[in-house]
Amino acid sequence: MSNGLLKGKKGIIFGALNSQSIAWKVAEKAHEQGAEIVLTNAPIAMRMGEIKELGEKIGATIIPADATSIEDLENLITKSMEILGGKIDFILHSIGMSVNVRKGNHYTNENYDYTLKGLDISALSFHKVMQTAMKFDAMSEWGSIVALTYIASQRVFPDYNDMADNKSYLESVARSFGYHYGIKKHVRVNTISQSPTVTTAGSGVKGFDSFIDYADQMSPLGNASADDCANYTVTLFSDLTKYVTMQNLYHDGGYSNTGVTQKVIDKFGSAS
């Protein structure tokens, strides 16, 4: 349901691969709330995904960009401002990839070239996006920048591999750059730590299906869906959250603050 929460606002959304993607859901919700959007993804991801379908659905221009390439980001930012007719009000960074996970390398046996590549894509790219936006003075006053993260940045999840380190770095970038962007332009920068969600990226993690079920039983409200994450993200793009910045915001049904639930106790009790 639309109430025009983002009416007149303009933004860039990174990472919409297919209809399972949280970025895809965010684009749909932001459009429903009145926003104009430019969609972007890496050229290889665009060939694999269905982003053209989303662009047609919401009337968004698609600009290919490798988020690790400053040249690509400069082109993306300048062209987006031309297309949208002014400065940008919000950016979503929904990018993550571990080559070590894809290649089946255990955390204790990393290929460090793969590690650096994954860090660049998943976390350093967030700094590059904001540095480029600041260089071109692309963000509006009181604009909002959001990146998606996961609680493995804070706690051990053995099979999350080096993506846990990537997310830790991502959250640190949000705090540090959020300080400087707040001082300079009143731009707010936050990360959303979402429940485990069935996406193309998430499904690559070993044991992911079992963990989704476990997290659901450990969350008083159950796992938050991709649709609900999109709704939450839209509130962070809106003027209702103007003074929320440099935060890692848990959107996980209460999982992050729960030690154990009766469901889990009952399950282990019955197993014995």
Residue 22 assigned to a binding site:
yes
Tell whether 15 is in a known binding site.
yes
CATH domain 10-207+224-257 topology: Rossmann fold (3.40.50)
Contact 5/34 with Cβ under 8 angstroms? yes
Cα end-to-end span (Å), the chain? 47
Percent of the chain with pLDDT over 70: 94
pLDDT for 44: 80
pLDDT at 203 over 60: no
> Which of 37-46, 90-99, 116-125, 149-158 comes out lowest in average pLDDT?
37-46
CA distances to 101, 145, 158, 159, 249 from 211, in Å: 16, 29, 11, 10, 21
Residue type, 77: I
Binding residue per annotation — 21? yes
Domain-by-domain residue ranges, the chain?
10-207+224-257
Q: For residue 207, is pLDDT > 70?
A: no
Indicate which residues carry an active-site annotation: 150, 160
Single pTM value for the model: 0.94
Q: Which residues contact 270 (CB under 8 A, 6 or more apart)?
A: none
pLDDT of 263 > 90? The answer is no
215 or 249, which is more confident? Answer: 249
* Phi, psi angles (nearest 5°) of residue 13: -120, 120
Q: Which two tokens stand for residue 172?
A: 């640190």
The pLDDT, as a whole number, for residue 202 is: 55
pLDDT digits (tens, 9 = 90+) for 19-51: 999 999 999 999 999 999 999 998 887 776 689
Instruction: Output DSSP code: residue 124.
Output: I
